[in-house]
Structure 1
């Protein structure tokens, strides 16, 4: 694309569909067209409300179906960086009619609870009236309960016990079958005619309950870009809190640090407490969590963040090195969710890894497996 064509494309994106007659030669690619459609949904209706009409009449076409308010929210979240998203959502409260949604519990009650709806409502909950806040909480509880029912059995299986290869059990489970011991104990029954061992005693590994005097510190970045991960972190905290052998601390942060450990058993209360947006001071949060470490060798520190540090990175690295030197188990999660598709500062993540923190993006069940391996 030539410099002139690029300039015209940018002007077309800035001015929107009303500029199309004057810039008729400008062609938008698929990504630009999505962004233009999403912005048009918000800003064009404001101009139409002022009486401004498009230069050309709309005609039938094969354009995508009209966006809904919730569909628009999903689009802008997918298309724009967090800084732009926050600005556009703020405009939406006043211009899109989202304020009507936040004033009408009956309208919320007519919507099917789902994760996308919950994330959208959490984004706006600070501006909702008390009656709508109650409805948001009700929706949150339904969505969270559905996630808990799916995840809890898998997480408990990963954390409740491990194979103990030092003692035997008669439990007839092929998962625990000890074929080496079975062969060894039945060599005397070798049938020379058929060339096989006739096993009259089968051996199985026993499963023992894991004694885990571990403290799990979940330090969660509550910036808007981490909303999906925050949802799953709240659910995981509730599941882990239900294990009597674990002591769970839950801390959320932006530029401030809030200790929600007392609410960790209730993911809905956690979600209703988070404050999305603002800056990010990871170092301050990690430094606070250092104070929660009582037995370093029995502590797992989990930092869930996009690693976009708002201040200098050096103090953050120093805090991580201190924890690592004390032999705290360090896990950095760039994303926690069913998709586990992260957008994060790779340079900072690599420096954290060099300082002693393992870094990954995981689904909740894989996180449970990893946690189980760490505290085995």
Structure 2
């Protein structure tokens, strides 16, 4: 009679079940995130969603939320490790590779006016978010900072990049991203409508390039900027995208300054602190700048850069899907209307204040 095979003792855990290598535990979650990303990629190519300016990142988190509140609870025991890995490590890898979308030459393309407008809009929008969110709406600081980052820089990508710095929960991130989706989508319809009305009534003298700067410096998502600029001609679209990418480039210094600020606040609030607490440096933000600098030298062939950008989109979409899977709709409901109202007021500032700042800077430098 043949002897039955026994499992070596070192492959058994404390419960007597077969021990699985930690890396193997990641695969189910990675596969689930990849499936959702593939579906989101397909949907993002549909003409209707393209016209709405919904990027693959936005669709990925929406699909993640749907699956996360229906099927995922039963899949969590086998997929949880991979989803957490995706949400943390693939996110950081995606932000680092995001630098390949940028070059420092883009800064020169919009000139001093474009840079000043972007700096003023970013800083003013974020500080207004802090003031309104904390003083007026009494919203928790993490949610306020996430909404402020999403509105002032580059939408969902900025929110995802800010999450590790402020150490926010998935539910708060989802709330912040929902505000970007709502008002960024509204911008796709309002901005072209305003541009056509302005041509008819001649409220403000606006060239295509000036409208492109206005759009790029005030609209939330890159995809939404492309959708708006495309309706007004090539000059408006090109300028809008470049202006927007400069805002994206400001993400890294923003994260470094925010991290330094939070570290200082933590030191002051520490009763038993015997010295300054160390600054938590978001290293992925440093590498983001390094990648942008490297890409500025054009050392890699364009097809390779395009492939890197495609991989980056996949990584970020998988991270968004993972975020959605761990988001509870009940928590979004509990957040109430205050985050939406905050984002609405920021949207008004981006349009009205952005218009005033754009026209003022052009007037000063003309």
TM-score using structure 2 length: 0.22
Greater percentage in strand: 1
Greater RCO structure (CA 8 Å; 6+ sep): 2
| Structure of higher CA gyration radius | 1
Higher helix share: 2
Give the structure-1-normalised TM-score. Answer: 0.22
